[in-house]
Structure 1
Amino acid sequence: MRIICIAGTGRSGSTVLERMIATQGGIAVGELKYLWSRGLMRGELCGCGRPTPECPFWAEVIARALPDGLDPARIEALRRRVERHRILMLRRLIGLPSARYAEDRAEYLAILRRVHAAIAAVSGQDVILDSSKDPAHIDLIRELAPEATILHLVRDSRAVAHSWGQPKRRPEVHWAEEYMPRIGALRAALDWLFINFATARLFARTPGYQLLRYEDLAEGRAFLADLARPDGAALVHSVSGNPLRFDTVPRRLAPDRRWLTDFRGVRWLLVTLLTAPLLWRYGYPLIRRDREHAS
């Protein structure tokens, strides 16, 4: 069994990358960290189009992984005690000890281990694609599977901040009209800075780490050959993610460049100043280029 994790911030193109990899085969589970809350507790749609609790795939996975019974609320509470940015900072980056955290982490790791084994068994696939992105989740996966591939996907912070400000409906919420959360430029910039810093700090020196830029995905896909074998169409049972995961019509991959004209003024300057060190490190220009706006 091989696990491929997509790391990075929201609105960076992780669903696009997941779909690209999925064309090579494997089982795409979307943002697995939300299996308990969004999938099983709220009953949001699986990528197959069924409510997650009614999806035969997830029903068999849960039956295999948790044969003694399922309490998704309890598991979600356990996950939140382990997989939060504040916890990641205190326990992993700073190294502040906590016996309670160690116990919770070990218990949740045991659950994740059984879930991954069940996913592989039920799907019949030896490659699992997980686009949860958060470094705290991927830190657990690395402990569970040290050989896991970590694709650190980055996108220009100004593009990410612009995207977070746009309304986007959540079709997986099939019983009501609900939209993905919108956050301001300051919050988006700070999240982008922390998540990309933490991801690099924790994983850049580990085997299986690879840095990818969203803007480069359309220009070359050679890296895909090393990620999964082309053994037929992938299975898609994503429990959360961008609405693009429900799009069954093949689309030409092209970077979204609307932010170059729509994201300007004080917001652009604020995000640029806050994220400048990492923008420069990832090869993004710090100064606006008028010729880009006209393209």
Structure 2
Amino acid sequence: MVRVLFLGGLGRSGTTLLERILGELPGVCPLGEVVHLWHRDVLDDERCGCGERFSRCDFWQRVGATAFGGWTPDLARRMVGLRTAVERTRHLPGLAAPRLRAVRARLVSEYTQAYAQVYRAAVEVSGARVVVDSSKHASLAFCLRWCPDVDLRVVHVVRDSRGVAYSWTKQKVRPEADGHAEMTRYPPARSALLWNTLNAAFGVLERIGTPVHRLRYEEFVAEPARTVDEIRRFADLPPDPAALGFLGPGTARLGRCHSAAGNPMRFATGDVELRCDDAWRRELPAPQRRLVGALTAPLLGAYGYPLGGPR
């Protein structure tokens, strides 16, 4: 059984930064957003976090050879089709049920076994004890809970919904696509509804028995060493007093990684500043702030965020 730290939550909540920092720990192999591996990397040959095209990245080619005898377009297309069939938000009620219907169970098994093969191969190639999948999607986590070969442990990352909403309005280029594509953008009301849906889903996942460790982005960047040590214990990794030496006052020193997909900061190396990005309090128009706050008020309160914004 392969141990997987799955980073869940709505995008723009700091999961890529957390993945990069966890990837500096001994025995941890960060894989990026594996959910996008099949289309963006195997089919479209976008850039790995190391800077190389996927087809020229030695790490991922060794993983593919170990897992499947090599990456093929047929495998990738099959996985993209299975994702549509079983791994969508609308399938969450069925995936949360005590049993899966026979047809869905077969599809979920095929889908998650491919992920298990990728995870196992990554462990073998890297020599790590734990892999990090920052796919974020609650629907994928609900699928993986059915895989007997995956020891699934979810780190649920929450960020103030107004900060998330502001981030989704910003224009960002996807450098792995050589500047020819932009990251998705959502209007504030849409991102508020997604924030509610995905964060509530991880609460359900915890209630039905999957181990979930919840953390707030704002506390993570304020106290990264404490946060990372809590996750280390959650992942059952051995203590290592020297392991956090890459963390300094307000900074983290990051090496090169092989993150398959995700936020552009996966390409960052060297000293990276750790700070709470609260530009939303100045830049997000007041009517939109109030709208997002009203739509997400119940969960904001449950996670400890004051409706007037953090003090």
**Do both share a fold (TM > 0.5)?**
yes
Distance 1:254 1:224, change over 3 A: same
Farther off after superposition, 65-74 or 133-142? 65-74
Asked if structure 2 preserves the Cα contact closer than 8 Å seen for 1:28 and 1:235, the reply is no
Distance 1:183 1:2, change over 3 A: same
The Cα of 1:287 is off from its aligned counterpart by 2.2
**Amino acid paired to 2:25:** Q
- 1:194 equivalenced with 2:181 (yes/no): no
**Amino acid paired to 1:24:** L
Report 1:172-251 matches (<5 A): 172-174=176-178, 176-204=179-207, 206=209, 208-220=211-223, 221-225=225-229, 226=233, 227=235, 228=237, 236-251=257-272
Farther off after superposition, 211-220 or 61-70? 61-70
Report 1:270-281 matches (<5 A): 270-281=291-302
Secondary structure at 1:3's aligned position in 2?
strand
Unpaired runs of 5+ residues, structure 1, are none
Cα distance in 2, alignment partners of residues 138 and 27 from structure 1: 18
Distance 1:95 1:127, change over 3 A: closer
Asked if structure 2 preserves the Cα contact closer than 8 Å seen for 1:28 and 1:238, the reply is yes
Cα distance in 2, alignment partners of residues 210 and 101 from structure 1: 28
> Which residue in the other structure is 1:101 paired with?
104
Deviations 1:198-218 (A, max 9, x none): 111112563631110000012
Report 1:74-85 matches (<5 A): 74-85=78-89
Distance 1:172 1:204, change over 3 A: farther
Cα distance in 2, alignment partners of residues 19 and 63 from structure 1: 25
> Which residue in the other structure is 2:35 paired with?
33
Q: Percent identity?
A: 35
The Cα of 1:98 is off from its aligned counterpart by 4.2
Asked if structure 2 preserves the Cα contact closer than 8 Å seen for 1:52 and 1:58, the reply is yes
Report 1:250-289 matches (<5 A): 250-288=271-309
Asked if structure 2 preserves the Cα contact closer than 8 Å seen for 1:32 and 1:132, the reply is yes
The Cα of 1:258 is off from its aligned counterpart by 0.4
Q: Which runs of 4+ in 1 moved over 4 A?
A: 93-98, 227-235
Distance 1:52 1:15, change over 3 A: same
Deviations 1:140-190 (A, max 9, x none): 33333564321110000010000000011111112x421101111111001
Cα distance in 2, alignment partners of residues 149 and 96 from structure 1: 20
Secondary structure at 2:176's aligned position in 1?
coil
Cα distance in 1, alignment partners of residues 81 and 30 from structure 2: 25
> Which residue in the other structure is 1:50 paired with?
52
> Which residue in the other structure is 2:139 paired with?
136
Asked if structure 2 preserves the Cα contact closer than 8 Å seen for 1:27 and 1:235, the reply is no
Asked if structure 1 preserves the Cα contact closer than 8 Å seen for 2:95 and 2:143, the reply is no
Farther off after superposition, 6-15 or 62-71? 62-71
Asked if structure 1 preserves the Cα contact closer than 8 Å seen for 2:30 and 2:259, the reply is yes
Report 1:146-185 matches (<5 A): 147-174=151-178, 176-185=179-188
Unpaired runs of 5+ residues, structure 2, are 244-253
**Amino acid paired to 1:244:** M
Secondary structure at 2:214's aligned position in 1?
strand
**Amino acid paired to 1:46:** C
- 1:10 equivalenced with 2:7 (yes/no): no
* Greater relative contact order, per chain length (Cα 8 Å cut-off, separation 6+): 1
Scaled by the length of structure 2, the TM-score of the pair is 0.85
Farther off after superposition, 97-106 or 8-17? 97-106
Instruction: Give the RMSD, CA atoms, in angstroms.
Output: 2.3
